[in-house]
Amino acid sequence: MRSLGREPEHHWAMAEKLGDDASGYTPSMSEAQIDQVRSWHERAYREGRAEGAADQTFNYLGVSVVVPPEVMPVNPMSHLLGEAVLVEVHEGERVLDMGTGSGVNAVLAATRGADVLAVDTNPRAVDAARANAALNGVGDRLEVRHSDVFANVKGTFDLIVFDPPFRWFRPRDLLESAMTDENYEAMTRFFREARQHLSPRGRMLIFFGTSGDLDYLRRLMVDCGFSAEVLAHDELIRDGWKVEYFTFRVT
């Protein structure tokens, strides 16, 4: 079995810095790994497109979310982040859900009594998250807004939640922009600007997997002065490769 996995918790201190020319992303995976990630990506994109125009409804961790086409559905690994949100959020805290998609993590945080701002660049996601807040009776404590990373976000938060697109290819449409962020431009901007949006007790929950460039994420976090611990982890075998998924608590 080949591995796309890493052992991230062992290498934080040693992670190589990105340097000043970090704006030009280059993958830190082998050619074989990149080919495999590309083929999974194409398959996921084709399957997402084939699902057609129907909304999907998910009953998940005590909430219900309706997810339209072109918005990221709940998937078998989503609970690694959703359960961490339920544990991490305390009543009265201010939470930012970056790249909210269907709003699922924003809704979970609001059910814990947090005041939540949820943002996304996808207008279908913004509409879906707003509708899902109302559906779950938390519309009064969950505001949803269009924002390209922090462009339309002011102030500080006790918790920032982000499940960024794992891939670094150029997206062809809205559906694909939930899965891929060209050269990790948005994710890079996110980490470079995140600190100024964290309160003194602020922390982040970040979900990522080795079907993306986990080494890049690790170096980016170190470069921006953050440290991370693994809160949740799972793995699966795809086409003979081990793929790992992590929820990191980042401070």
Ligand X SMILES: C[S@@+](CC[C@H](N)C(=O)[O-])C[C@H]1O[C@@H](n2cnc3c(N)ncnc32)[C@H](O)[C@@H]1O
Query: Can you give the binding site for ligand X, defined by CB under 6 A?
Result: 72, 99-102, 104-105, 119-122, 125, 147-149, 163, 165, 177-178, 181, 186
- 112: amino acid identity, one letter: R
Alpha-helical segments (H) within 140-194: 174-177, 185-194
Distance CA 228, CA 247 (A): 10
Which of 72/198 has CB closer to ligand X?
A: 72
| CB 108, min distance to ligand X, A | 10
Distance CA 141, CA 230 (A): 29
Which of 173/239 has CB closer to ligand X?
A: 173
Q: How many CB atoms within 10 Å of residue 92?
A: 10
Which of 36/177 has CB closer to ligand X?
A: 177
Which of 16/123 has CB closer to ligand X?
A: 123
Which of 148/239 has CB closer to ligand X?
A: 148
Do the beta carbons of residue 190 and residue 164 sit within 8 Å? yes
Distance CA 117, CA 60 (A): 21
| Backbone dihedral angles phi then psi of residue 172, each to the nearest 5 degrees | -90, -20
